[in-house]
Amino acid sequence: MKEENKPVKKGFSRRNFLQVSGTGVAGLAVAPLLGAQAVEQKNPERPFEIPNAVDVQLNINNETIKLKIDPRASLLDTLRYKLNMTGTKKGCDAGHCGACTIHINGERKLSCLTLAMRHQNDKITTIEGLSKDGVLHPVQQAFVDNDAFQCGYCTSGQVMSAVACIKEGHNKSTEEIKEYMSGNICRCGAYPNIIKAVKAASK
Amino acid sequence: MEQITKPLNRVDGPDKVSGKICYANDVAIDNLAFGYFVSATIAKGRVKSIRTERALSQKGVLKIFTHKNMPRLYSPPTYISPFDPSGDSGQQKHVPMQDDKIAYDLQYIALVVAESFEVAQEAGHLIEVVYEEEKGTYEEHPNPNNAEELEFLFGIMEGDYHRGKPEASFEKSEVKLEQTYTTQTMHHQPMERHGTTAVWNAGSLTVYEPTAWIFGHQKGVAEMLGMPVEDVTVISPYVGGAFGGKGLVAPHTGIVAAAAKEVNRPLRVELTRKQLFGCVGLRSATHSEVKVGAEKDGTINSIIIHTTGETSEFQKTAFESSVIAPRMMYNNPHMRAKMEVAPVPMSGPVPMRSPGEASGLFLLESVLDELSYKLDMDPIALRKKNHADKNLETNLPWTSKHLNECYDVGARKFGWNKRNPKVSSMTKDGMLVGYGMASGSYPTLFHPASAKAKLLNDGSVELIVGTQEIGTGTNTIIRQIAADYLGVDIKNIKVIMGNTSYPKTPPTVAAFTAASVGTTIAKVCEQLKTNLIRLATSNEASPLFGLKVETLNISNGTITNGTKEESLQTTLKCAGRPYVETQLQTQYSPEMFKKSSSSFGANFVEVEVDPITGWASLKRIVGVYDCGKIINPKTAHSQLIGGCVFAIGMAMQEAAERDLSNFRYLNSDLGGYHMPVQADIPDLDLSFLDHTDKEANILEVKSVGELGGVGLQAAIMNAIYHATGVRIRSLPYKPEKLLEIAE
Amino acid sequence: MNFFQYTEAKTTRDAIKAKQEKEASYFIAGGSNLVDMMKEGIQHPQQLVDINTISGLREIKNTGDTVYLGTLASNTVAAESEKIINFAPLVSQSIVKGATQQIRNMATIGGNLMQESRCPFFYDVSASCGRRTVGDVCPTVTAKDGIRTNALFGLNESCNTPHPSDMAVGMLALRSKVVLQSKNDTRKLTLDKFYHIPVKENTKITHLQDGEMIVGVEIPLEHGFNHSAYLKVRDRKSYAFALISGAAALNIQTGTILNAGLASGWVGTIPWRFEEAENFLQGKAATESNFRQAAKIAVGNAQPKKNNAFKVKLLEKILIRTLLMAKETPYGTNN
C-alpha cells in the first residue's frame, strides 16, 4: 500500500504527490499550491523549444512573471500549463461556460478567449490572488458558509464573477444577481446558494 | 450524536473557493506530454484514408496514433449490475481506433501526442481524413417499430415485467387513457471534462482520472490493456461533477494509457467539450406508449407501459429504464412494464442522474395528471387514493414511507388550496398562471464497502477509504459520522480518499454512498472504539484496567465511564503504540432483503405563460422530501437543489439536436446545448420531513442525492397544462409547443 | 491554431495599411470571436492587426444630433453609458440581452457588428458552408426541410443562418449608421445598407471595403424616439442566442405614433428591419390592434422551411409583445 511519505517515483515529483493526496485536512494547514508562488518558468528540465516563442511579461496577482510562451497560447492555458496555476479551470475552451473567469484590470473576462501575449500591460487577478495572508476574501467565506458549490469545478469562476458582480453594483435584487451571474454555469446546480452567498457578501 | 444532523460547512470548502483543490488533470507531472483526440465527422461508416504527414511536420509532435498503428486494446466487459459493484465496469464494448469503423458521431479516429497543447491541437487540425459514409434513415425519437430485445437492464432487472392481468383489467376499466410520451437525448456535461493522465513506471500504471468509481476504472483499464489489476493504480480524490457519467470506464482511458506506454512519457489527454457529446455515453431518448385503466372513483386498476429506448448498434443496453420506477409507485394490482431498445449510431448509453426515474416518473406523473382532469378529481387526492402501502413489485413492506405527509406539507407551503381546477382560469398581471404537482421516489440501496480507521498518537484520526468526492460532501459526512461513532473531536479527523490503494468501496452513484460507505464508517469506528477501550482495560498501568469494555465509552477523545477516565493519547502512549488501526468490510445481510427502502417526495410548481407569445417561465417550486435522518442538512439540501436544477433542464431546455440526414449533432457545444443558468432557476423551497428510518440501516438514512427533481418534469408540464390547456408529452418544452394558445 | 504575424497599430492609418500589406490579415480588438474561431481551426489569419492600441476610438458623445459610439468602446461601457441609456436606450436594452458580462467586458462595438456566424455548419470544417468557403452551398439548401435555427428572411445559396447580434438589431431599429474610415476618407452607411445578404462570390455579409475600418456608430436622434424595448425569446432565460428577438422604438406623442423602428434578430441572414410595418405604424394610434396589424405585415415576406415554419407565427407574436412592451417603457424608465 502506498503511503504519503514513500520515496518519489519517476514521472512525478514529491511536490506533485503532495498536491494529489491532500484532501483538505481538517484543522491542519494545507500544503501551499506551488503554482501560487511561481516566479519562474516551470519544468526547467524539459528540453522542448517552443517554436516561434515570444518573451512576455505578465503581472499576475501583483507579481511580475517573465516567461517564454507559444504566441498562440491562451491566457488560460498559460496560467494552467506554463505556470501551474490550476485554480482557473477550463470548462469548454470556447467562451460558453464561464469557468475560466478571471479579472483583467479589475474587470471580469474569460481567459480562454484571449491570447496571453496581448496582456503584458494589464493587471491580471486569478482566484489564487483573492485571499490575503491566508484569510479568505469575504465572497469566498460567503460561498463556504452558504454551501455555494458542490463539486467545486466552476467555483473559481463563480467567485471571480461574484466579486466583480458586487463591484459593478449588479447586486441590487435577486433578479439582477441571477441575470449578472448567468455567465457562470454550474452543473451541480448550486445556483440558489450562490445567490445567497452574493447577497451575504454584499452586506 | 453531536455532529450527525449538523449543517456543517464542507471540509473542502476553503480549498474549493480558493482554487486549491487539485482535480485529476490539474496534477503537475514532470515531463508531461499532451494529447489531443481528433473526432470523426460522420456518424457511421469507415475511415477510407487518413494522412498525417502535415500534422507530423509540426515541431513538437511526438507521435500520432490512428487505427493503423494503435496498440491492441481489449473490449472491457460491460455486464453492469448495481448489485455487484465489484463486477464489470466497461462503458463501451466498442473501442475506437482498433479498426477503421466509425460507430457514432465524434468517435475518435486519431490521437496526437505532442510537447504542448497548442502543438497537439494544431496538428490535430492538419490530419486529413477521407470517410466512406454509410447512410441511414433516422428519426427524432426511438421508433417502436425498430424495437429489439434488451441485452440486459441493469444486469438484473427484468425488461419485461408484469403482475396480474394488465390487458384484461385495462379493457374492463370504466375510464381508459392511452397516450404516448417521449423524452429527449441528454448529456451529462459535468463542468470538469473527462480526461486521463497516464504515468508508467516499469510495468506499473498510475492513472489520474476524474471518476466516480476508482475500483471500476482500475479493473476496466487493466482489462482493456490486458494487464493484472494489481499493477494499476487509479487516483481521483476530487471529481468535478459526475451525474452518473464518470462511473463506467470509457474507452479514452485505455487508449491514453496505451499511448503513454508507446511514447514512454507521462501523457495527459483531456477530452474536448465537444467530445463529451459523442464519446462518453448519454441519457437515451425514450418513446413510451402508456395505458391506464381506472374506475370513476379514481381507483387505478392497470398501468401498461411499453418503452423503446435508443441504444447503440454495438451494445443493446438501456440505462434510462423508464419501466422500473412506475412499478412500485402506486397500488394498481395489474401492471405491465416492458422495455425494448432501438439501435442507432450512438455511443453506448450511460446512466444519467435518476436514470429511469427521470423519464419513468415523467410519464407516470403526467398520465396520472391527465387522469385527474378526466375524472375531475384533485391530483393529490388521486394519488392518495392509490397510495401503495407496500412495494407491489417486490411485495415487501416499506422500511418507512411518508409520501402522504409530503403531499400535505407541500400543499400547505405551496398554497395548493388556491388552485382553481379549471384550465386557464388563473391569471396574474396579464399572464396565465398554472399550478402542477407530482410525486417522486428513489430507492435506497446498499452495497458492501470497506474502510480503515486509524488513531495516531498525536490524537488525530484518519479515515482511509477508497471512495471519491464528486461534490456530494462525502468527505464531510464521513467526518461527522466518525466523530460521533468514535467519540473524538471532529477537528482531529482527517479523511483520506480517492486512491485504489485504499480500502475498496462501491461507486459513488445511485445515491447509496451514505447508506453504504456511511454505515461502514460507523461500524469501523465502533470497531476501533472497542479495540481502543480494550487496549486500555487490558493495560495494568491504566486507571481503566480490568473494567468491562461494555461499561466504557469514548467522549471527546477520552475513554470514560463517568467516573474513571483516560485520554486516547495516554492509552496509546502507555501501550507504546504509534497508532492503532482497524479495517472492516460490511456485507449484505438477509435482513436487508425483507423490506423495501425508498425515499419519497412531492413536487409543486407554479408557471406563468405569456398568452401572446406562449413563452413559459417557472415562477416557484416547492418540494418536500422523506429521506430519513439527514446527516448534514446543508449538503443534503444542496443535493436537492442540484436534482431540481437537473430536472428543470430536462423539462424546459436541454436536448441534443441531431441532423436527421446523417445523425450528427447540431448542438455539440455548451452554446447550443442549453443547460440551466442562474436566470432559469425560480425560487426553490425544498425541505425534508423530520422522520428517521430505523428499519433502513444503522444510520437511519434513506437516499437523498438523486431524489431531488424526480417527478418535477411532470409537475412542470402539469402546471403548463393547467395554465394553457396544452399538454406537452414530449420533453423538453420549446416555445413553439405552446404557440397554439397565442392568438 | 496556426502561427501568425502580430502587429500592433498605433493609428487607424497604420492599422489599415498593415492589414492591406498581408493577405489573410484580420483586425483584432476584443478577440472573443476571432480567437475562438482560430482555436477551432475555421479561420486562419496570417496576420493579426491589433487595433486595441489605437487611441481615440473609445469615446462616447452626444453631439446634439446623434449619440456617437467609438468602435473600441466595450459592450459593457456602451450599455452602461449615461448617454446611451438616456438618449438611445434600445442600444443598451439589446446589448445586455446578449452574451454575458464577461464577454461584454471583452467585446467591442465594431466586433459585435462584425461577429461571424454561429451556425453548426460554419463551425464544422467538414460541412459545406458558403461563409467559410467561397462557392459552397449551404446544407439547408440541399436539405430542403432546413433546420430549426434557419433564417426566415434573406435566404440564399451560400448561407441561411440568422445573424447573431442583438446589438445590431437594436441599432438597426434606431436607424443607426456605421462610420467607416479609409486612408483618405470617411463614409457612413445605415446598418440596413451596411449589411447585405450573403452572396456566392465571397464570404462577406457587409459592404466594408478592403482598406476600410469601422471607427464608430452614429445613432441619430432626429426621429424623436421616446419609447423602446428589446425582447429576446430563447431556449433558456440567459446566456443563449435568440430563437427570435424583437426590437421596437417608438416616437409616441399623445397616443399617436409619429415614427416607428421595428427590427428582429435571428430571423434574417442579416439583422432584419421591417420597413413596411414601420410605415404602417406611422401616424397610427399606439394600440394593441395596430401593433397586431403591423406584426402581420412584418411577417408577410417570410420564407419558412418545414423545420422552422413555427417561427413565422412566433415572430409575429413576439413583435406584438415587443411593441406593447415598448409602449410601456418610455425613455428614462429604469429597466
pLDDT in tens, B221-245: 999 999 999 999 999 989 999 999 9
Please name the residue of chain A whose CA is at the shortest distance from the CA of residue C7. A118
Q: For B422-440, what is the mean pLDDT?
A: 97
Model confidence over B342-356: pLDDT tens digits? 999 999 999 999 999
- Cβ–Cβ of B11/A156 closer than 8 Å? no
* C15 Cα to chain A: minimum distance (Å): 16
- Cβ–Cβ of A164/C239 closer than 8 Å? no
Contacts of B652 in chain C (CB under 8 A): 236
The pLDDT assigned to B673 comes to: 97
Q: For C125-139, what is the mean pLDDT?
A: 96
* A60 Cα to chain B: minimum distance (Å): 15
CA pair distance C268, C160, nearest whole angstrom: 8
Contacts of B736 in chain C (CB under 8 A): 310-311, 314
- Cβ–Cβ of C237/B671 closer than 8 Å? no
Q: For B654-668, what is the mean pLDDT?
A: 95
Q: Is the pLDDT of residue B375 over 80?
A: yes
Please name the residue of chain A whose CA is at the shortest distance from the CA of residue B271. A92
Model confidence over B552-573: pLDDT tens digits? 999 999 999 999 999 999 999 9
Contacts of C239 in chain A (CB under 8 A): 182-183, 185
- Cβ–Cβ of B614/C147 closer than 8 Å? no
Q: For C217-241, what is the mean pLDDT?
A: 96
ipTM above 0.90, yes or no: yes
* C116 Cα to chain A: minimum distance (Å): 14
Select from C3, C6, C103 the Cβ nearest to the Cβ of A95: C103
- Cβ–Cβ of B677/C239 closer than 8 Å? yes
CA pair distance A199, A194, nearest whole angstrom: 9
Q: Is the pLDDT of residue B133 over 50?
A: yes
Q: Is the pLDDT of residue A14 over 70?
A: no
Q: For B392-412, what is the mean pLDDT?
A: 97
Q: Is the pLDDT of residue C87 over 80?
A: yes
Q: Is the pLDDT of residue A129 over 60?
A: yes
Model confidence over B487-507: pLDDT tens digits? 999 999 999 999 999 999 999
| B247 φ/ψ angles, rounded to the nearest 5 degrees | -80, -50
Q: Please give the grid coordinates belonging to residue B563.
A: 467516573
Mutate to test the interface with C, among B121, B612, B670 (most CBs of C within 10 A): B612
CA pair distance B397, B401, nearest whole angstrom: 10
Model confidence over B28-77: pLDDT tens digits? 999 999 999 999 999 999 999 999 999 999 999 999 999 999 999 999 99
Q: Please give the grid coordinates belonging to residue B496.
A: 483520506
CA pair distance C59, C291, nearest whole angstrom: 37
Q: Is the pLDDT of residue A17 over 80?
A: no
The pLDDT assigned to A18 comes to: 32
- Angle at the Cα of A179 from the Cα atoms of A174 and A182, rounded to 5 degrees: 120
Burial class, B436, CB count within 10 angstroms (exposed 0-12 / middle 13-18 / buried 19+) = buried
* A69 Cα to chain B: minimum distance (Å): 10
Model confidence over B386-398: pLDDT tens digits? 999 999 999 999 9
Select from C1, C4, C101 the Cβ nearest to the Cβ of A183: C101
Beta A101-104 vs A123-125: how paired, if at all?
Answer: antiparallel
List the 77-116 stretch of A: residues with Cβ below 8 A of B. 77, 80-81, 84-97, 99
**pLDDT category, B540, cuts 50, 70, 90?**
very high
Rg over CA atoms, chain B? 27
**pLDDT category, B318, cuts 50, 70, 90?**
confident
CA pair distance C207, C198, nearest whole angstrom: 11
The answer to whether B499 faces chain A, any CB pair under 8 Å, is yes
Model confidence over C305-332: pLDDT tens digits? 999 999 999 999 999 999 999 999 999 9
Q: Is the pLDDT of residue A19 over 50?
A: no
The pLDDT assigned to A96 comes to: 98
Residue whose C-alpha cell reads 496576420 in the numeric block: C47
Model confidence over A157-195: pLDDT tens digits? 999 999 999 999 999 999 999 999 999 999 999 999 999
Residue whose C-alpha cell reads 487595433 in the numeric block: C51
* A19 Cα to chain C: minimum distance (Å): 30
Q: How many CB atoms lie within 10 A of CB B463?
A: 27
Sequence-distant (6+) residues with CB within 8 A of B187 are B276, B277, B282, B283, B352, B654, B656, B673
Task: Give residue B451's identity as a one-letter amino acid code.
Answer: A
Q: Is the pLDDT of residue B444 over 70?
A: yes
- Cβ–Cβ of C124/B657 closer than 8 Å? no
Q: How many CB atoms lie within 10 A of CB B641?
A: 23
Percentage above 90 pLDDT, chain B: 94
| A121 φ/ψ angles, rounded to the nearest 5 degrees | -105, 15
Q: How far from C288 is each of B483, B491, B719, C295, C325, CA to CA, in Å?
A: 67, 66, 28, 10, 11
* A133 Cα to chain C: minimum distance (Å): 28
CA pair distance B400, C16, nearest whole angstrom: 76
Q: Please, what is the end-to-end C-alpha distance for chain C in angstroms?
A: 41
Hey, CA dihedral for A87, A91, A93, A98, is it positive or negative?
negative
Model confidence over C245-264: pLDDT tens digits? 999 999 999 999 999 999 99
Q: For B262-286, what is the mean pLDDT?
A: 97
The pLDDT assigned to B79 comes to: 82
**pLDDT category, A15, cuts 50, 70, 90?**
very low
Interface residues from chain A to C (CB-CB < 8 Å): 51-52, 71-72, 74, 93-95, 98, 101, 107-110, 113-115, 117-118, 161, 164-165, 168, 170, 178-180, 182-185
List the 25-64 stretch of A: residues with Cβ below 8 A of B. 25-28, 30, 33-35, 42-43, 45-46, 48, 50-51
The pLDDT assigned to B81 comes to: 74
- Cβ–Cβ of C236/B677 closer than 8 Å? yes
Mutate to test the interface with B, among A2, A6, A12 (most CBs of B within 10 A): A12
**pLDDT category, B248, cuts 50, 70, 90?**
very high
The answer to whether C144 faces chain A, any CB pair under 8 Å, is no
Q: Is A90 helix (H, G, I), strand (E, B) or coil?
A: coil
Average predicted confidence (pLDDT) for chain B: 95
CB B138 within 8 A of CB B270: no
CA pair distance B195, B260, nearest whole angstrom: 13
**pLDDT category, B519, cuts 50, 70, 90?**
very high
Q: Is B704 left (phi over 0), alpha (psi -120 to 50) or beta?
A: alpha
Q: Which of B2-6, B143-147, C140-144 has the lowest mean pLDDT?
A: C140-144
Q: For B299-306, what is the mean pLDDT?
A: 98
Q: How far from C307 is each of C112, C145, C152, CA to CA, in Å?
A: 28, 6, 11
Q: Does B718 or B84 have the greater pLDDT score?
A: B718
**pLDDT category, C333, cuts 50, 70, 90?**
confident
The pLDDT assigned to B476 comes to: 97
Q: For A38-58, what is the mean pLDDT?
A: 69
- Cβ–Cβ of B498/A23 closer than 8 Å? yes
The pLDDT assigned to C334 comes to: 63
The pLDDT assigned to B150 comes to: 86
Select from C6, C32, C36 the Cβ nearest to the Cβ of A71: C6
Q: Where are the alpha helices (DSSP H) in A2-126?
A: 14-21, 34-37, 75-77
The answer to whether C4 faces chain A, any CB pair under 8 Å, is yes
Q: How far from A127 is each of A142, B17, B678, C108, C121, CA to CA, in Å?
A: 15, 8, 21, 26, 36
Q: Is the pLDDT of residue B742 over 90?
A: no
Q: For B529-552, what is the mean pLDDT?
A: 95
Q: For A94-119, what is the mean pLDDT?
A: 98
Contacts of C43 in chain B (CB under 8 A): none
The pLDDT assigned to A5 comes to: 36
- Cβ–Cβ of B612/C314 closer than 8 Å? no
Q: Does B1 or B357 have the greater pLDDT score?
A: B357
The pLDDT assigned to B82 comes to: 65
Model confidence over B594-645: pLDDT tens digits? 999 999 999 999 999 999 999 999 999 999 999 999 999 999 999 999 999 9
Q: For C162-187, what is the mean pLDDT?
A: 97
CA pair distance C277, B428, nearest whole angstrom: 31
Contacts of C103 in chain A (CB under 8 A): 95, 110, 113, 183
Q: Is B596 helix (H, G, I), strand (E, B) or coil?
A: strand
Model confidence over C62-72: pLDDT tens digits? 999 999 999 99
The pLDDT assigned to B564 comes to: 94
Q: Is the pLDDT of residue A4 over 90?
A: no
Please name the residue of chain B whose CA is at the shortest distance from the CA of residue C97. B679
- Cβ–Cβ of A74/C35 closer than 8 Å? yes
Select from B121, B613, B671 the Cβ nearest to the Cβ of C321: B613
**pLDDT category, B158, cuts 50, 70, 90?**
low
- Cβ–Cβ of C240/B679 closer than 8 Å? no
Select from A71, A95, A108 the Cβ nearest to the Cβ of C36: A95
Q: Please give the grid coordinates belonging to residue C273.
A: 428591419
- Cβ–Cβ of C101/A161 closer than 8 Å? yes
**What one-character-per-residue DSSP string does B484-544 give?**
IIII--GGGEEEEESBTTSPP---S-TT-HIIIIIHHHHHHHHHHHHHHHHHHHT-TTSTT
Select from A51, A72, A179 the Cβ nearest to the Cβ of C238: A179
- Cβ–Cβ of B471/A185 closer than 8 Å? no
- Cβ–Cβ of B736/C310 closer than 8 Å? yes
**pLDDT category, B80, cuts 50, 70, 90?**
confident
- Cβ–Cβ of B192/A189 closer than 8 Å? no
Q: Chains contacting A with at least 3 CB pairs below 8 Å?
A: B, C
